[in-house]
Amino acid sequence: MGIKILKPEIYLGNKKVSTISISKRYKSQIEKKIGSKYVHVETKKNILGMATFVAKKLLKKENFSPDFLIFVSQGQDKIFPSAAEKLAENLNLNKNILVFTLSSGCSGFVQALILSDSLLKTKYKKGLIVCAEKYSKYMSKNDIKTRFLFSDAASATQVLRSNQENILGIDHGYNGCDSDSLKVDDLTGKNLLTMDGSKVFLFGISTIPVSIKKLNKSNQVDKYLIHNASKIMLDTIIKKSKIENKKVINSFSITGNTISSSIPLLINMSYKKLIGKKVLMSGFGVGLSWASILIKWI
């Protein structure tokens, strides 16, 4: 048995902000390093609101009732309870389904796919993965370099059991020693996001090319959906992995780094082109962690 991934629904923060308008001083850096001309900031909804909105839109369109809900989010509005149950309530889902939150960032969607695949091999036939993150609430107005990198976003993706085994490979891992490289440390009372960009960059360029190589032993991949952390990160990974640029989808023309919704956004942009193809998805970041999956798209 395998997994069928349907076209995700995407929600981007309601305020579209030109990255150049954040800081003209860093114009060259924005173009070469970040790659995106815009970021999206959510000024009205909280994380649960964004998640509810995007999932409702998908459920209305697809009219289905999932057997499980995985809510991928780190910046929930409360320390506890987890927002997954409230999200399920807002969506009026069946009361007996499996509902839980996966606290993860940019690796989260792929981690949720790996879990979904396992669940779909048991009694569950269909699932819903909702990702939502609102980093803008943790950013200082003065932290320009972070403000032109991240976008607030949410996504909802339906996954179904398939009789065709289509998972061709999985690779994942973590580096807990350097987990503080990207964090919101609530104990400080300031609740602000801090990032050691150089460390995260080194983590990405050291792990993802190896992960890609492991999964693409026979050079079989048709399309790559690699987390769009930043242009310089993606370009370096492509170069180091020696993969063809045309096989890699990017969303920099639309928005910045959408964290856990980054890969759903890439799927949304290229859905028709993926059908029947061997697609490698790779997410990495907060944790530090990474998760990659090679799948024959059905």
Partner 1 sequence: MNEKKLLQIISQITGSKVSTKAKASNYKKWDSLAHLKLLAKLDQATKGKSSKILELASAKSFQEIKKILLKNKLYK
* By CB under 8 A, residue 33 contacts partner 1: yes
* By CB under 8 A, residue 145 contacts partner 1: yes
Name the nearest CA neighbour of 41 among 152, 146, 187: 152
* By CB under 8 A, residue 203 contacts partner 1: yes
- Which span sits near partner 1 by CB under 8 A: 1-9, 38-46, 176-184, 256-264? 176-184
Provide, rounded to whole angstroms, the least separation between the CB of residue 238 and partner 1.
12
* By CB under 8 A, residue 197 contacts partner 1: yes
* By CB under 8 A, residue 206 contacts partner 1: yes
Choosing from 53, 143, 167, 201, the residue that interacts with partner 1 (CB under 8 A) is 201
- Which span sits near partner 1 by CB under 8 A: 49-57, 161-169, 170-178, 267-275? 170-178
* Residues across the chain: 298
Interaction mask 87-126, partner 1, x per CB under 8 A: ----------------------------------------
End-to-end CA distance of the chain: 12
Reading the block at residue 130, the tokens are: 């909702």
Please, which residues have CB within 8 angstroms of residue 255's CB and are 6 or more apart in sequence? 12, 36, 38, 39, 40, 151, 153, 265
Choosing from 56, 121, 199, 296, the residue that interacts with partner 1 (CB under 8 A) is 199
Name the nearest CA neighbour of 100 among 79, 86, 118, 120: 86
Closer to partner 1 at the Cβ: 109 or 203? Answer: 203
Closer to partner 1 at the Cβ: 57 or 213? Answer: 213
* By CB under 8 A, residue 236 contacts partner 1: yes
Tokens 């009694």 belong to residue: 123
Question: What is the contact surface with partner 1 in residues (CB under 8 A)?
Answer: 28-29, 32-33, 145, 175, 177-178, 181, 196-199, 201-203, 205-206, 209, 232, 236, 239-240
